[in-house]
Amino acid sequence: MRPSILLPIAIAPIALIAAPATAQLRPLVAPPENAARAGSDGVDVFLVNEGKDATPIAAPETIETIARDGTALTLELVRSTADGAPVPPGGFAKLRYRLAPIPVDAPTAVATAPRPSREPETGETEKADSHGLASGFLDRFRPYEPTYIAIGSGQENTKAQFSFAMRPFGGTGALSYLNVAYTHTFFWAFNRPSAPIPTTIYSPEVFVDVPVGDQVNVAFGYRHSSNGGGPRDSVDANRLYLRVNKAFDLGHGWRLDVAPQGWVFFGSRGIATDLDRFWGNGGITASLAQRDGLKFQVYGRGDPASGRGAAEFFVSYPLQRIGGDVGLYVFGQAFTGYGEALPRYNQQQTTARIGIALTR
């Protein structure tokens, strides 16, 4: 294939995978959404000649990579769309891979698993313990916003949040893009008598999330946020939103995600008739994360016309890296601006907390 000055642009969003230091052809793989897509649609892999001389095509039979949903995958070569000639300097060859089947002589721990992952999202997962037998379609659940508990200063010194999303429908059809999510946030006055929970925010959500390109996802959905109050103190936010997330693989396990979002309010806002003056109609989230390492995330929103808004910052690090097989994160959270607690949407405050996270 002839070299092209467009190659850096074409492969910029493609995830980098490891190659031997002595090889001139660097393999780059366009990560699939999940294992099911890798098996049904296949995966494009590019061999880029970074050397100074033309190099014959030497494709590895298998490649290890990671899907966008975080699943580790082994891909096997299917066919090449290259012309077979040596790859010139700066050029590339395009190959085709698919998800490699699990061998029949796989280790016993895999073969005897109650629900093997070779057919993802096809059946329920069962777990038996002293509570009895519990089951669910757990392959369709995933973390959504961070789930954590963090303690700081102030009247409501503790903030806790639980959040998940799931896909009700599996497969690869149109309904497989439908998601439902729920985020539950509450503020706990742990330093006051009886440790009351004066503020709770309920946020159910439904949205369609579609991959539209390499490491680009577009979502359109509805989100309701409420403090669960009555006619005199209820604050409601009903929004239709459009969100786009673009991921950039930076190498050495680092990844940058940038997600601008815009929304429109509709329906009753309870007593918060001017909520849009403090929340605005748009925001942006940016995160910088290293797999099994540090993650930084910042979210900002606001109304340029009123000059009001807010920003929230998260930082986390896996405790497993510090010592021991602990599946938790040390977690820091800070907020400045308007509306951290929904009932006080028009009050400005700055807080900082530190704690433990289950997901990030």
pLDDT digit string, tens, across residues 160-200: 999 999 999 988 889 999 999 999 999 998 877 888 899 99
pTM above 0.85, yes or no: no
Place 130 in a pLDDT band, splitting at 50, 70 and 90: very high
The answer to whether residue 10 scores a pLDDT higher than 50 is no
Please name the amino acid found at residue 146.
P
d(CA 55, CA 84): 11
The answer to whether residue 112 scores a pLDDT higher than 80 is no
β-pairing verdict for 236-251 and 254-265: antiparallel
Place 38 in a pLDDT band, splitting at 50, 70 and 90: confident
Place 103 in a pLDDT band, splitting at 50, 70 and 90: low
The answer to whether residue 2 scores a pLDDT higher than 50 is no
pLDDT of residue 122: 60
Q: For residues 157 and 263, which has the higher predicted lDDT (pLDDT)?
A: 263
The answer to whether residue 300 scores a pLDDT higher than 50 is yes
d(CA 122, CA 139): 9
Q: For residues 150 and 62, which has the higher predicted lDDT (pLDDT)?
A: 150
Encode burial over 43-61: b for 16+ CB neighbours within 10 A, e otherwise. Answer: bbbbbbbeeeeebebebbe
